Amino acid sequence: MKVNFVVAMAAGTWLACGALAAAQAPSQAPASQDQHVLSSQEIDMMRKDIRSQKKQLVAQNLHLTDTEATKFWPIYDKYTAELVKINDTKYAALQEYADKFGTLTDDQALALAKKWLDVDIAAAQLRAKYLPIFAQAIGGKKAATFAQIDRRITHMIELQLSAHTPLVQNQ
């Protein structure tokens, strides 16, 4: 992968997650029960920005012919739509975590951890579902390349989110 791919994605996710970092810094006072630390609008804007950057990075690094592109992008859009639904759960859990940070009970913390694990499982199942669909459309090598690009981007996003989310025990 090109170095600019890594730099662009790291910079983009760092910028996109800046609001999340500021909203959940452990040094800040906990939010009241009725106050959202991070608004739904802020999360939605961050997600749209990440999706846009991801599509651009896939386009730049997955070298498709015109024929392949005609087949690939509609499948990619379906995949992304399904992934968005899965990620709705993740971002709702992050919002819940931000809202309750400082007052989480043991049961609430465990429930949130389970939600995060369920999201990971659902995303992995979605990738497994779509890999043969992509392979049929653009061939095995390019489908595998897309899978690599998709995983790298996902890992970078997850790293940024994790780095900017305080540990439960720090509340």
| pLDDT tens for each residue of 55-85 | 999 999 999 999 999 999 999 999 999 999 9
Residues in contact with 150: Cβ distance below 8 Å, sequence separation at least 6, in sequence order: 58, 127
Residue 32 belongs to domain spanning? 3-170
pLDDT band at 43; cut points 50, 70, 90: low
Tokens for 45, please give them. Answer: 């804007």
Out of 1-15, 43-57, 81-95, the most confident range is 81-95
pLDDT in tens, 129-171: 999 999 999 999 999 999 999 999 999 888 888 887 888 888 7
- Answer yes or no: is pLDDT of 45 > 80: no
pLDDT in tens, 80-128: 999 999 999 998 898 888 888 889 999 999 999 999 999 999 999 999 9
Q: Residue count of the chain, please give it.
A: 171
Helices 106-138, 140-163: crossing angle, 10 deg rounding: 160
Query: How many domains is the chain partitioned into structurally?
Result: 1
DSSP conformation letters of 67-83: HHHHHHHHHHHHHHHHH
What does the alpha-carbon distance between residue 134 and residue 79 come to, in Å, rounded to a whole number? Answer: 10
